[in-house]
Structure 1
Amino acid sequence: MTLAFNDPQQVTFDKIKQAAEIIKGAVLETPCLPAPRLSQLTGADIFVKYENMQVTGAFKERGALVKLSGLTDQEKSRGVIAVSAGNHAQGVAYHAGRLGIPATIVMPVLTPFVKIAATRGYGAEVVLAGNTLADAKEEADRLALEKDLVWVHPYDDAHVIHGQGTIALEMLAQQPDLEVLVIPVGGGGLISGIATAAKALKPSVTVTGVETTLYPGMWGAFYGKEVRCEGATIAEGIAVRDIGQLTTEVIKDRVDDILLVSESSIEQAINAYLTLQRTIAEGAGAAGLAALLSDPDRFAGKKVGLVLCGGNIDPRLLSKIVVRELARDGRLVSIRIDTPDRPGTLGEIATVIGDMQGNVVDVEHHRLFLNVPAKGATLDVTFEAFDRPHGERIVAALRERGFVVRYLEIGDRMD
């Protein structure tokens, strides 16, 4: 019997086990380890599956290799094409290079440069087209037809889904007591494979998906809601407007719930992985942890498996996030002080901050702007504090010395 393209019965546990044999030795079996500091932060008993340790920094290698390995010799000689914001691109490029298959990758022009450079580094031809994955796919469709290339879809392909499902085999072998798996969702390939394998191995396990609020496509399909998918998100790896047909049916059949998380919670999760786990997560890779930070009561006391599915984040963006989180926590304080324009004022302010064990990291001295009195000056001072109450005590001390002090958001400048 031939199954319809979107019949979830195409995706089976037996095929996932076969996929595990295909990728053995070519894809890293990443560790799934306890994360006590994240557990303390969230109230859940957290275990992290470190897919950011793959050669390309993300899980996408698994599905890409399974798909490529299943091509005929004639298909391999024609070459393959893929569309991706980065991680699928790198997975296809890396393993196509290993197998001697020509690869063309179409990426949105706004894809982080680190991902573009890495994809080219694996030997693929990279074409930049459009601002979104949907725009890039239009160009990829044109090239595939023009050059007779074989599609390697990032998520809506049973071979790819089977490859991604091998993650669940490893997680439950390494941590059989897991009660909940929290999985990032873009097009749905990762969670479709994981849910299929996890439910077969352990029917009692709960599989929860996570999307960013800016791209809630699968959430809308899951709950029958009309949604809009648009906007600049830090989680570009799951910024999918056109979700998969096959993956949608698998998810409806095998996934328990899908949650939405804010951009700020994803930033917080990226920072937590960096500062508490000493590991790097891109926005999509941190989405699972963002769900626990957003709704800790839902997961409190449960053994939760998180898939850190990718670590390919632009270093400049990562540094910006760290600074923003320091500001949110009150450990980096930016203030504006109105002062008389006289010698010694800056030294007096610095002394007050230093005597209270604050650390000045930046000063901007404004005298020439028209909204500053002719005999006055304005200082923008950024300093480090131990925590929010410590910063508040320093500001109070400056005010006690007669200075007019206003809080600024990090990055604010004179009008």
Structure 2
Amino acid sequence: MNRIHNIDELTLYQEIFLKSPGRKMIISESGDILLANESVNKLFGQDFAGQTIQGLLGLDSIPSEELCHFIDGFPYLVKTEELSVNNYRALFFESLFHDPDPQLWFSDLANFFSEPMWVLNSDLQLLNFNSAFREDVENYIKRKITRGDHVLFPEYDSTYLSFWEDLYNRALQGEKVQYEFSRDDKTQDDYAMLNLEPIIKNGQCIGIACFTKNISSLKKSNNLLVEKTKKLHAAFEIAKMSEWEYDSHACEFTWMEKADQFLGVFDVAFPTRWEEFIKMIHPSEQQGVEQAFDTAAHSGMLSLETKISFNQKDYLWVKIAATHQSGQSGLIGIIQNINEQKHAQLLLAESEKRFRDFVNVAPAIIYQYNITSSKGLFFHKKR
């Protein structure tokens, strides 16, 4: 293909992408939104600067497979595709409806959800619902339900009615409502998340898309993570150790919560900027610490022992170790209070020095003493 000279190809390709059909965006390996075309900008109606896809879609991790997501109450299929450059990903947003009328597009989705799903208008009347919702409600109120029914069924007790009325009213005000609950299942832990998505059209809320999602496996994983975190914190406290992260571009530190408690130095402020951090280091060791961090920027490994102070007077021996953060610019590491061990080592070293000094002079003392007792030669050879 012949190339046209004197044109900015990168700018041209970027403009082609921005104006391309379909809703597309490019994200980094960590989820940062790098580029979005005009269609997806119009869909979300906001600036993506400084945002991540996890924050935008309310996800715990970057989507690695197809998922259904509601945007302004309308369902979209989110597809992802790996790119060959820097582990970037392309995301595509495809509408899961043929008509923007909620009553019409629901039929496109009814079988997509095995969990209860229902759609309401602004008067809280049922526009549509799937079989799972029908079974749940009819088992509860002991009668048939149809489209057009008011969703605040009179069979509900007053407390239950107030609960649902509050959630629906919040959604009608434009709030995306989520509520986690446990199902009545005696055999196993069964958790679900209720989602109420306002349906927005021309800036007005015209209804609510409602659905539940089984989160039992996620809940169990989170509970396991919480339990392991507690054990890790207990281990950190026993070892007088804490975690930290350093962003080499922003020159900023982030410290683990309760870092002072874990290190055994209570009610102290940990530095967030590099300048503040290096001032904590003992003046005689600041240059060595700076060199160690510079070397770590290239080698990806950091390990040193140094003295720090939170009041520029009382110094504490600490061990600092770190490695590169995967996919990010910076380090992640630990800091450990080794003050007691270090002082014990110093005392032992001082004790050994005194003993060696004594041994070095001891033969002369013994020799002089033993000359007078005529036993110097024996002790001299024994030495």
Give TM-score scaled by structure 1 length: 0.23
Q: Which has the higher strand share?
A: 2
Pick the structure with greater CA Rg. Answer: 2
TM-score for the superposition, normalised by structure 2: 0.24
